[in-house]
Structure 1
Amino acid sequence: MEKAPFSLTLNLLILSLLLLLLNPTPCLSKCNSHDRKVLFEIKAALGNPYLLESWQNTTDCCTWYCVECGGPDDRIIALVLLKGEINAQIPPQVGDLPYLQTLTFHKLSNLTGTFPNALSKLTRLREVTFSWNNLTGPVPPFFGPMKNLFSLDLSFNQLTGSIPPELAYAPNLSGLRLDRNRLTGPIPESFGYFQQREFYLFLSHNQLSGPIPNSLRNADFTYIDLSRNQITGDAYMLFKPSGSLQIIDLSRNMFAFDLSNVTFTPNLTSIDLNHNKITGNLPVQLTTLNLQYINVSYNRLCGQIPVGGKLQSFSIYEYFHNKCLCGSPLPECK
């Protein structure tokens, strides 16, 4: 049998390659077909934004920008949308990604509306971030029963209403951010019963009011920020000599307690108590702390500022406008 000329064989090979390029076969995808369908629904609900341009039917959805696959079945475990031009609401279809562990919508300034109840189906969630958006309505209580939830950040939105006490029931929650919203009402009594040690809690820049709950004496915070609210009462219980507290900001509230009797944990590096109704004097123990910041201005403190440690390294602005506080860096005591 006569062999085909080499040039003919080469031409047939080139023709085959051209046909493949003109008629590509579907991409072999490891992404779950259900998840792929849901992602396309999410993309459409968000108005097909440029941020999701890589979400194309010709590519494996596990390689798409903003998503991550994981587990033995390559299910979608992360949906992370950052800094995109999106004019929409949170798509309820997000709740149809049952294996999600990380859910982030961050700095989407035109993301509006409320939290869809469909998110309550995502029982595997570990990290939830909806921050720096324009979300409105109440903080949803359905995050509370989520057993795997580790961190919840709903900061920098326009959320209103009271804080749901159910948030304290999440057994593995180690940090909660609700700061920079328009929340009203008191801090829930349940917030003294977070189950994880070394918890951080940010509630600043809201319109919270009422007395600080006594239950907070049971909590062990590493970082607590209650600043710029209208909270009243005795915040003495937040300072624990054997606790984990490193940073505390109670500024611009209406707290009233005697600072003289407070015993501080050695871990404390930052104390901001300005613009309250705090009385007493500054404890000498403050000279033993490795303070990076202190502000006790605009209170009702008296007596001499203890000499030593880092207390004299701060300016008069961290101490002034008190009843009769004196000594360096303020004028000498008379």
Structure 2
Amino acid sequence: MIFLSHVASSNSERCHPQDKMVLLQIKKELNNPTVLSSWKSNADCCKTSWRGVDCSPSNNRVSGLSIYDENNNLSITSKFPPSIGNLSYLDFLHLYDLPNLTGSIPFESLSKLLKLITLTITSTGLSGPIPNFPPQMKHLFSLDLSSNHFSGTLPNSLYKLPRLAIAIFNNNSLTGPIPPSYGYFQFIGTLYLSHNQLSGRLPISLARLINTYNIDLSYNKFEGDASMLFGSNKVISKLDLSQNMFKFDLGKVELAKNLYALDVSHNQIYGKLPLGIENLSDVLNVSYNKLCGKIPEGGNMHLFGVNSFFHNKCLCGSPLPNCK
């Protein structure tokens, strides 16, 4: 009876045996951390008792994996587990709050995850370059690699990922310019590159990003013209260019109708404030530049105080002193 009970239990287990074997190998590669103590060989990995594991109801394959250390007890001290690449049905992978997860991203491993839709690796100790994820990962929609220790240049072939809509690389140690290929993303809606050491001039090809909603290039070493990011034909709603060395005539740009947040502070931008700036409703900061002219009245200008405009060459009018 005990034997029959064991057989019945095994037959009723949803977890695919191959996926279960891979998960236990991942646990081993992570040095059997306490945060994965619920991953037990005698339990069904598709049950909620397995922390961070999700299974697809259609085929009982592991479709999602989240490994994190919310209590900050630093129980995971290892390299990136290469066996993750053997979970061939994964559509989302989240690794975060793992400061002692070190080494580089194993490209050969992750590039096998051809069903992946969301890849999030944030707040870890991972370093090295960001790999050029292959176009065969045609379902990849969101790529968040923020707040790690990645270095080197931006991967120049990301634009070949046909469904990539979110690319977040902020808070790393990336260097070099933005590749001209980044103007050829098909569906990119969010591009966050802030708080790196990126430099150089922006490629004119970025003018092609007419359907990008959020762009953040702040806290880098970019220089020269950034006017190609503006335009009345674009859908951009949030644009942050602050803390760089951009130098262009702001008065000549056209603002997108949907733009509600603009921060160009701490640059070398000159000219007048552009038409329509009074329509911004959330963020407006043009401080620490070389702007001149009268600050427009009406619209939403009452929402923005002195800090939005001070330390310019000759801006005047409320909330700054009156024009002479």
TM-score range, shorter chain: over 0.9
Residue in structure 1 matching 2:313, options 323, 327, 334: 323
Structure-1 residue corresponding to 2:246: 255
The gaps in structure 2 that reach 5 residues or longer are none
Residue in structure 1 matching 2:61, options 72, 75, 80: 75
Q: How does 1:17-56 map to 2 (within 5 A)?
A: 26-27=9-10, 28-56=12-40
Structure-2 residue corresponding to 1:66: 52
Residue in structure 1 matching 2:291, options 301, 305, 310: 301
Letter in 1 for 2:251: S
1:92 and 2:92 correspond: no
Aligned equivalents of 1:50, 1:144: Cα separation in 2: 36
Give how far 1:164 is off: 1.0
**Contact preservation (8 Å) 2:14, 2:60:** yes
Structure-1 residue corresponding to 2:322: 332
Residue in structure 2 matching 1:136, options 127, 134, 138: 127
Structure-2 residue corresponding to 1:283: 274
Q: How does 1:107-118 map to 2 (within 5 A)?
A: 107-116=97-106, 117-118=108-109
Bigger mean CA offset, 136-145 vs 123-132 = 136-145
Bigger mean CA offset, 116-125 vs 181-190 = 116-125
Write the deviation string for residues 209-248 of structure 1: whole angstroms up to 9, x where unpaired: 1100100000131000000101112111111202110000
Structure-1 residue corresponding to 2:201: 211
In structure 2, the CA distance between the partners of 1:309 and 1:165, relative to structure 1 (3 Å rule), is: same
Give how far 1:293 is off: 1.1
1:184 and 2:175 correspond: yes
Aligned equivalents of 2:69, 2:251: Cα separation in 1: 47
**Contact preservation (8 Å) 1:103, 1:129:** yes
TM-score for both structures, normalised by structure 1: 0.90
Write the deviation string for residues 39-93 of structure 1: whole angstroms up to 9, x where unpaired: 0000011111122121112211111221111163311111111225311121000
Q: Which 4+ stretches in 1 moved above 2 angstroms?
A: 23-28, 82-85, 142-145
Q: Cα RMSD between the aligned structures?
A: 1.7
Give how far 1:183 is off: 0.2
Aligned equivalents of 2:36, 2:97: Cα separation in 1: 15
Letter in 2 for 1:187: I
Aligned equivalents of 1:241, 1:144: Cα separation in 2: 32
1:265 and 2:256 correspond: yes
Give how far 1:143 is off: 4.9
Q: Tell me, what secondary structure is at the counterpart of 1:141?
A: coil
Aligned equivalents of 2:178, 2:208: Cα separation in 1: 14
Bigger mean CA offset, 277-286 vs 98-107 = 277-286
Structure (1 or 2) with the greater helix fraction = 1
Q: Tell me, what secondary structure is at the counterpart of 2:213?
A: strand
**Between the two proteins, what is the percent identity of the paired residues?**
45
Q: Tell me, what secondary structure is at the counterpart of 1:210?
A: strand
Aligned equivalents of 2:57, 2:186: Cα separation in 1: 28
**Contact preservation (8 Å) 2:281, 2:303:** no
Bigger mean CA offset, 108-117 vs 167-176 = 108-117
Aligned equivalents of 1:284, 1:34: Cα separation in 2: 61
Aligned equivalents of 1:275, 1:120: Cα separation in 2: 39
Aligned equivalents of 1:122, 1:292: Cα separation in 2: 39
Aligned equivalents of 1:275, 1:145: Cα separation in 2: 41
**Contact preservation (8 Å) 1:283, 1:306:** no
Give how far 1:249 is off: 0.2
**Contact preservation (8 Å) 2:254, 2:275:** no
**Contact preservation (8 Å) 1:145, 1:169:** no
Q: Tell me, what secondary structure is at the counterpart of 2:127?
A: coil
Structure-1 residue corresponding to 2:213: 222
How many equivalent residue pairs? 313
Residue in structure 2 matching 1:243, options 225, 229, 234: 234
Letter in 2 for 1:76: V
Bigger mean CA offset, 289-298 vs 153-162 = 289-298
Q: Tell me, what secondary structure is at the counterpart of 1:73?
A: coil
Q: Tell me, what secondary structure is at the counterpart of 1:61?
A: coil
**Contact preservation (8 Å) 2:197, 2:220:** yes
Give how far 1:285 is off: 1.6
